[in-house]
């Protein structure tokens, strides 16, 4: 429906700032030809790499976008260890992941906190990639749709339509993250379609049709095309496979 696919590489806690330069240069070189405007490419490096990536992307006018893996819900002040939206905006980040399952799981992030982070991102002109998705127990009980939609509702609470229409949603079933066990294209479509349906209920069909919904969880060059063929999947949030520049480029070029 005219949505530009977004392929984002989430490096998680990998690649130091020197490795980040080498990796980004490889991506830029491999993508520096005619037709990759058909897909938007982004990387989400650790905070400590953002300046390196910015310098390369800005200096060489690369088309690669970048963003952070997390953001503070606060704007400034005595919050030791936190990174604010204004700091990320100053580094010209485009995106910021919010509520990645690893943040929810290891840092006890609640829907309420994710909602505050979504709002913080918008306050600073950043586009949140709001991550949602069920764990194995929920999937086994067959409750993946209701569970994921509750996370979506929580993350979007009181977010106005003019902001919500620019958000990116990443559906990442936790049981498929880093496990090699990819959701079937039908599994991905079921929940991504339900997410779009809920966006239509919360806002409007017109808005829902604009929002990009990514799938994440063991995406590789060998399975990306089948997932991208689903009508409500508009991109991928790639973890492990994004650490290998050649493999990530193959994922970006899934249409080739």
Residues at the contact surface with ligand G3H, assessed by CB under 6 A:
10, 100, 172, 177-178, 216-219, 237-241
- Decide: 190 and 215 in contact? Cβ < 8 Å: no
Question: Which residue number, 122 or 171, has a Cβ lying nearer to ligand G3H?
Answer: 171
Question: Smallest distance, Å, CB 205 to ligand G3H?
Answer: 28
Question: Which residue number, 45 or 239, has a Cβ lying nearer to ligand G3H?
Answer: 239
Query: At 238, phi and psi to the nearest 5?
Result: -110, 130
Question: Which residue number, 109 or 172, has a Cβ lying nearer to ligand G3H?
Answer: 172
Question: Smallest distance, Å, CB 9 to ligand G3H?
Answer: 8
Question: Which residue number, 209 or 247, has a Cβ lying nearer to ligand G3H?
Answer: 247
Q: How many CA atoms lie within 13 A of 189 on its CB side?
A: 9
Q: What is the rounded CA–CA span in Å between residue 5 and residue 21? A: 25
Q: Which residue is nearest to ligand G3H (CB)?
A: 239
Q: What is the rounded CA–CA span in Å between residue 185 and residue 208? A: 20
Which residues are known catalytic residues?
A: 100, 172
Compute the radius of gyration of the chain from its Cα atoms.
17
Question: Smallest distance, Å, CB 101 to ligand G3H?
Answer: 7
89-108 as b/e: b if 16+ CB within 10 A:
bebebbbbbbbbbbbbeeee
Question: Smallest distance, Å, CB 12 to ligand G3H?
Answer: 7
Q: What is the rounded CA–CA span in Å between residue 256 and residue 250? A: 8
Question: Which residue number, 134 or 172, has a Cβ lying nearer to ligand G3H?
Answer: 172
Question: Smallest distance, Å, CB 85 to ligand G3H?
Answer: 20
């Amino acid at each position: 429906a005219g949505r530009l696919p977004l392929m984002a590489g989430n490096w998680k806690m990998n690649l130091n700032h020197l490795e980040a330069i080498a990796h980004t240069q490889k991506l830029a070189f491999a993508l520096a030809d005619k037709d990759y405007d058909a897909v938007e490419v982004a990387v989400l490096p650790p905070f400590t790499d953002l300046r390196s990536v910015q310098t390369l992307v800005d200096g060489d006018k690369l088309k690669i976008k970048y963003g952070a893996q997390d953001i503070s819900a606060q704007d400034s002040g005595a919050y030791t260890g936190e990174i604010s939206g204004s700091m990320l905006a100053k580094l010209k980040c485009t995106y910021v992941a919010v509520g990645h399952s690893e943040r929810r799981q290891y840092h006890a992030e609640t829907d309420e906190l994710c909602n505050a982070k979504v709002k913080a991102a918008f306050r600073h002109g950043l586009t949140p990639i709001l991550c949602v998705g069920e764990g194995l127990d929920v999937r086994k009980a067959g409750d993946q749709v209701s569970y994921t939609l509750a996370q979506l509702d929580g993350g979007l609470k009181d977010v106005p339509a003019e902001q919500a229409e620019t958000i990116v949603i990443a559906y990442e079933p936790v049981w498929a993250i880093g496990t090699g066990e990819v959701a079937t294209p039908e599994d991905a479509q079921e929940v991504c379609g339900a997410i779009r349906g809920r966006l239509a209920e919360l806002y409007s069909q017109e808005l829902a049709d604009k929002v990009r919904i990514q799938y994440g969880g063991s995406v590789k060059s060998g399975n990306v095309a089948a997932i991208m063929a689903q009508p409500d999947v508009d991109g991928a949030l790639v973890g492990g496979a994004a650490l290998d520049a050649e493999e990530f480029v193959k994922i970006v070029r899934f249409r080739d």
